[in-house]
Chain A
Amino acid sequence: MNILAPVRRDRVLAELPQCLKKEAALHVRKDFHPRVTCACQEHRTGTVGFKISKVIVVGDLSVGKTCLINRFCKDTFDKNYKATIGVDFEMERFEVLGVPFSLQLWDTAGQERFKCIASTYYRGAQAIIIVFNLNDVASLEHTKQWLTDALKENDPSNVLLFLVGSKKDLSTPAQYSLMEKDALKVAQEIKAEYWAVSSLTGENVREFFFRVAALTFEANVLADVEKSGARHIADVVRINSDDKNLYLTASKKKATCCP
């Protein structure tokens, strides 16, 4: 962990990547939050640059979770990889608005018999990516259960959710259109951002992960800025300091609790 790989040229984000569908997006701003932009310009991003944000990838057996991660991290569609047992992980380095930032992608096992062991790796996740197969209605139906399992280990208000349909290359336009309608409905229900990708062709894979990195980074910086702001106010207004301290304490407890 001491020696971090340098950020690749193609992992630099200067602008906020856009969502795929406005109907199911975490937010539809065209730019980073102004406070985030300001904090980065003034180099007041706290420890975000040295932080590793945890992202877990869940979903049914063989919907293509590992292929999706490998496509982005290794830019390959390599068939000679191993079936996930327990958990695998990949680390990706980014530079967002000039600040180094790392995503820790946790690839979990989709088979039923490994679900119980995989759940221990859900704790501490900042983003949850739920993958389903665009050609398998059942895998879409199961995404809510995957989300329920993952949220047992995390505070829902602090987690970014992404619903990703995979294997788009196997869909005909008509089939895809029908499935997308259903998927958008599910995404709106669970308050997730919707994406459709193909690991085989690479369609939307890079855009999707850049979006995950950007939104996770933004959430981290906003959290840090808010903490700084609270401390600043506490120093000046004595009466308010009690309330603010209480808020900080509650916030910390809430953020770290595991039910």
Chain B
Amino acid sequence: MRPPAQARWEGQGPTAPLRLRSGARWGRGRPHCWVYVRVRVTIGYHLDRDDSGGMATTSAASDSACSAAPPPVGGAQAAAAVEEEEREVVRVRVKKCESFLSPEFRSFAVDPQITSLDVLQHILIRAFDLNGKKNFGISYLARDRLGQETFLSLLSDWDLSTAFATASKPYLQLRVDIRPSEDSPLLEDWDIISPKDVIGSDVLLAEKRSSLTTAALPFTQSILSQVGRTLSKVQQVLSWSYGEDVKPFKPPLSDAEFHTYLNHEGQLSRPEELRLRIYHGGVEPSLRKVVWRYLLNVYPDGLTGRERMDYMKRKSREYEQLKSEWAQRVNPEDLEFIRSTVLKDVLRTDRAHPYYAGPEDGPHLRALHDLLTTYAVTHPQVSYCQGMSDLASPILAVMDHEGHAFVCFCGIMKRLAANFHPDGRAMATKFAHLKLLLRHADPDFYQYLQEAGADDLFFCYRWLLLELKREFAFDDALRMLEVTWSSLPPDPPEHEVELVGPPSQVADTGFGSHRGRPVRQRHMLRPAGGGGGAFEDAVVHLAASSQGPSGGGRLLRQASLDGLQQLRDNMGLRKDHLVQLSHPATLISSKSLSEPLLNSPDPLLSTSSRPDSPSSSSPPSTQEASPSGDIAVGSPLMQEVGSPRDPGKPVPPPPPMGLPPPQEFGRGNPFMLFLCLAILLEHRDHIMRNGLDYNELAMHFDRLVRKHHLGRVLRRAKALFADYLQSEVWDSEEGAEATAPS
């Protein structure tokens, strides 16, 4: 239930002050006073309705600005703080324009030191009661050197800093342009951040609930990052806005709290809520051994505490059995090749970390070697590839049990095996999406990279392949990984994690029955252009098809189809594999409209890893269906993949693309793309200021291996991710146009 003291904007007169939940009134008897909300460290802003639109009120307010009554404690210091605030504050006057409605006006003051674009956006959301409207643009009135006045867009914190510095005398004039947008079921179905987990009140409409939920993240993240307030203080300040249950910033999940997510039999009853909790605060180190098994989708649903123990014992025995079967599953030459490759990498993986710092024949290095070798032997279509040791290393260090770590590794590789496929398609998709995201978030930076010839972003290859595991110090990487994994929807196995993958079938992707030397020769003697060109071709085609409608867009798309077809032929995929490829698009299209998407990444991976075992949940007729252009939520990328056998057939023009929807973005891990974006933006100014070229860019980020600042990157990534989820740009033609570089 809403607190009775909560402010209602519609019913207040122009001089009514903001009312705190406690009921205290500031400057009750002084009309036109500027009043600041504060507890200990001040966030200064006061909202004042100004329906008349007249300049007189603003001028009067400026003339009669005065201090609020000092708070009960620290009178002298508070007075000094107030004085400082008066010198620092920027007065803002906002005009809201919405299609044919008459304009509305609001006035308030902000402290530019702590007001980021996110904070400003949410002040505006509150001031104009924009909860039900998902798209609006902000621009400010600027004067050039000739005194010409024009409105410039506010699209980044940099823009806002410029506005504060150059256009805030006597006040900053803003304009808010509302753009209507269609509601979409996608956000309702995307369950990473559930409304009921964030806002306790059921009184709110579903639409407002979703909007408030996603709006909360960047607002609170920005507040927290800038004022460094304690949890209780945050709750005190924010409770009047969102209700009692907003807990966006938390310490790591503790054992005691973890048990509140289990019922009396030890079953996990609220998996989504657990993930949201970890998303916000991570996991206490001592608890990772238990909780990571949920995040890596090791347990099927509904296991009791005892059943989980039995399950892990059984899977560990299964692992030990597989480990004893190396010689039976591969021939001696292939086994030797796998083992020597794995061993070389194990000896150079995280050796600076205490767990792996021991002698080369130590137990932990042996466990890592055996784990990776067993995986390569039991998954011949994936085998071993450099980088897998980086993924396995933190899991083994946390589990400290070879068998348990192997089951967890199988869990993560279910999602990531595609990264290591020789055809490079999964990586090409991720590069294309990262490129889209960067262009979307910062067109100027993107253009800079284009001119430097670095817009392929290949210096991010290691980031995407290893999901940034190597970019942070080891302990920071553990936190980054669990936050990232918790941003994904739960995907528990139906019965058990499978420890054995499909047998080798395509000769050039596995070791099968070939002897070691011929295999290596074949790898190295791949036809010229076939191996090296395929990945870049895929990137180019995907990027082209992601550009959306443009001059020659249809022709480009047709060329992309031909390219994809040729790429697939070159990779030697069999015909029935093509049938499987057309299948996921249909599933996604159907599910997007009618079902929750919790498991949507699974069909893609299942189909990819089991070409001869069609999904049991799929009726045979879907194999004949082709996605229709009328399904607005479908992705052009998937549509094109879904029509590989009819390259000559005209493809219906896809809807204009902002960014792909969450279940497709980043090929199953959208939050990771925002981590990459956060790192890029963190270094944006340095890169552009120094004019780094292609090589210098790669060198710059190569120097930063294991050195990125986790706190800053996570905060920025979460804020950007929340904006993405809230904006639903992927559905809106107007949204796409509005955010395109102009």
Interface residue from B385, B459, B698 paired with A111 (Cβ < 8 Å): B385
Within 163-219 of B, Cβ neighbours of A (below 8 Å) are at none
CB neighbours (8 Å) of A142 from chain B are: 521, 524-525
Interface string of B134-165 (1 = CB under 8 A from A): 00000000000000000000000000000000
Residues in A neighbouring B456, C-beta threshold 8 A = 120
In angstroms, how far is the closest chain B Cβ from the Cβ of A166? 14
The B434-466 residues at the A interface (CB cut-off 8 A) are 456, 458-459, 461-462, 465-466
State the Cβ distance, A133 to closest chain B Cβ, in Å.
12
A54 CB–B CB distance under 8 Å: yes
Question: B residues 390-410 with Cβ under 8 Å of A?
Answer: 390
Q: Which residues of B are in contact with A by a Cβ distance under 8 Å? A: 341, 344-345, 347-349, 351-352, 360, 385-387, 389-390, 420-422, 424, 427, 456, 458-459, 461-462, 465-466, 470, 517, 520-521, 523-526, 528, 531-536, 690, 692, 695-696, 698-699, 702, 705
Among A121-178, those with CB < 8 Å from B are 121, 124, 138, 141-142, 145, 148-149, 152
Q: Using Cβ atoms and an 8 Å threshold, which residues of chain B touch A88?
A: 702
Query: Would you call A62 and B532 a contact (CB within 8 A)?
Result: no
* Residues A54 and B524 in contact, CB atoms below 8 Å apart: no
Query: CA of A46 to CA of B524 in the docked complex: distance in angstroms?
Result: 41
**What are the residues of chain B within 8 A of A62 when measuring CB–CB?**
341, 344
Residues in A with CB closer than 8 Å to B389 are: 83
A113-B520 contact in complex given A85-B462, A124-B695, C-beta closer than 8 Å: no
Q: Which of A32-40, A74-82, A244-252 has 4 or more CB atoms under 8 Å from chain B? A: A74-82
Residues of chain A lying within 8 A (CB to CB) of residue B526: 112
Given A85-B465, A104-B699, 7 extra CB contacts under 8 A: A80-B348, A80-B352, A87-B698, A89-B699, A104-B695, A112-B523, A113-B422
Q: How far is the CB of B39 from chain A (nearest CB, A)?
A: 45
A: contact size bracket: 35 or more
Q: Give chain A residues whose Cβ lies under 8 Å from the Cβ of B532.
A: 115-116, 119, 149, 152
User: Which residue of B347, B390, B525 contacts A79 across the interface (Cβ within 8 Å)?
Assistant: B347
Inter-chain contact B345/A83, CB cutoff 8 Å: yes
What are 24 of the A-B contact pairs (CB < 8 Å)?
A52-B695, A62-B341, A81-B348, A83-B344, A85-B387, A86-B461, A87-B461, A89-B698, A89-B699, A89-B702, A104-B699, A113-B386, A115-B532, A116-B531, A117-B458, A117-B461, A120-B456, A120-B458, A124-B695, A138-B517, A142-B525, A145-B524, A148-B528, A149-B528
Contacts of A50 in B (CB 8 A): none
Q: How far is the CB of A132 from chain B (nearest CB, A)?
A: 11
A103 within 8 A of B: no
Task: Identify the 10 closest CB pairs spanning chains A and B, nearest first.
Answer: A116-B535, A80-B351, A86-B461, A142-B524, A112-B523, A85-B462, A83-B386, A86-B462, A83-B345, A119-B532
* Residue A237, interface by CB 8 Å: no
CB distance from B500 to the nearest CB of A (A): 22
A7 at the interface (CB under 8 A from B): no
Question: Contacts of B385 on A, CB cut-off 8 Å?
Answer: 111, 113
Does residue A95 face the partner (Cβ distance < 8 Å to B)?
A: no
Number of A-B contacts (CB under 8 A): 107
Query: Inside 8 A of A68's CB, which chain B residues have their CB?
Result: none
Chain B neighbourhood of A193, CB < 8 A:
none
CB-based contact B341/A115 at 8 Å: no
A204-222 to B contact mask, C-beta < 8 Å, 1/0: 0000000000000000000
Shortest CB–CB separation between residue A93 and chain B, in angstroms? 14
Say whether A83 contacts B387, CB under 8 Å.
yes
CA A80 to CA B348, docked complex, whole Å: 5
Q: Is there contact, CB below 8 Å, between B420 and A79?
A: no
Known A-B contacts A82-B470, A86-B461, A116-B536; the reply to A109 vs B698 at CB < 8 A is no
Distance of A216 from chain B, by nearest CB (Å): 15
Query: Contacts A83-B349, A85-B466, A104-B695; is A114 near B690 (CB within 8 Å)?
Result: no
B422, A138: Cβ atoms under 8 Å? no
Query: Roughly how many angstroms separate A126 CA and B176 CA in the complex, as a whole number?
Result: 54
Most buried by B among A52, A61, A120, A148: A120
* Chain B residue, CB-CB nearest to A111: B386
- The answer for the CA separation of A92 and B626 in the assembled complex, in Å, is 57
CA A81 to CA B706, docked complex, whole Å: 13
Please, which residues of chain A bring their CB within 8 A of the CB of B459? Answer: 86-87
> CB-nearest residue of chain A relative to B424?
A116
Task: Report Cα–Cα, A81/B346, bound state, in Å.
Answer: 11
Across the interface, name the chain B residue whose C-beta is closest to A152.
B532
In whole angstroms, how far apart are the Cα atoms of A2 and B692 in the complex? 11
Interface centre among B351, B386, B525 (most CB of A within 10 A): B386
